[in-house]
Chains A and B, each alone.
Chain A
């Protein structure tokens, strides 16, 4: 039981490049989330998926797209990376509503030059 896994762990991109961050959970959770964490700030929600087949914008969705591939997998895509997207990205999952405990993946550290 691995919980929530994320790939890659680290990535360096040049401005304008694209990439997809992968996330998978094996806890049969309905809801999944993507957050970014920047120094001195709390985690901010980028997108979430309340259940398989649905996705919705969070607090900071601009410059990102997501895909809920199936119940296990939720990917985050940067179509044209910008230096402002340099951050640590965390995927999380929960059984249902966010009022329940969220379980986080180990994070992806992204540097955009």
Chain B
């Protein structure tokens, strides 16, 4: 089992739709989690951090399920500008961080 696994997608959704991505992780000791957004041919940028059960920022909600070892990202009222790759990031201790391969999202008009 990979240390961090994501559904690669792509997810194709219309504007205004709600879409959710899941990410599973194997290291039960991980305490903090992140979602990064990466636009095509650009660098990753922090979208949200998750330190407890969840976090909400506008249209974006991240939830953590420690028992099942997964985190999810929910995007409500999708915009064209949400089209990107979403990376699940799990620090595993010290300076080691595991990046998921990413889930691609396409939002269409």
- Taking Cβ atoms with an 8 Å cutoff, the residues of A that contact B are 31, 33, 35, 40-45, 48, 50, 56, 58-59, 90, 97-99, 101-107
Nearest-neighbour CB distance to chain B for A111, whole angstroms, equals 14
Main secondary structure of the interface of B (DSSP, over half): strand
- Taking Cβ atoms with an 8 Å cutoff, the residues of B that contact A are 4, 8, 31-32, 34, 42-46, 49, 87, 91, 94-102
Whether A101 and B44, one on each chain, are in contact in the complex, defined by CB atoms closer than 8 angstroms, is: no
Main secondary structure of the interface of A (DSSP, over half): loop
Residues of A within 8 A of B87 (CB): 42-43
Nearest-neighbour CB distance to chain B for A13, whole angstroms, equals 20
Look across to chain A and name the residue whose beta carbon is closest to the beta carbon of B100: A42
Question: In the bound complex, what is the Cα–Cα distance between A63 and B50 (angstroms)?
Answer: 35
Whether A58 and B96, one on each chain, are in contact in the complex, defined by CB atoms closer than 8 angstroms, is: yes
Nearest-neighbour CB distance to chain A for B29, whole angstroms, equals 12
Residues of A within 8 A of B4 (CB): 42
Look across to chain A and name the residue whose beta carbon is closest to the beta carbon of B5: A42
Question: In the bound complex, what is the Cα–Cα distance between A43 and B102 (angstroms)?
Answer: 10
Q: If the complex has contacts A99-B32, A101-B46, A101-B49, are A31 and B100 also in contact, measured as CB distance less than 8 A? A: no
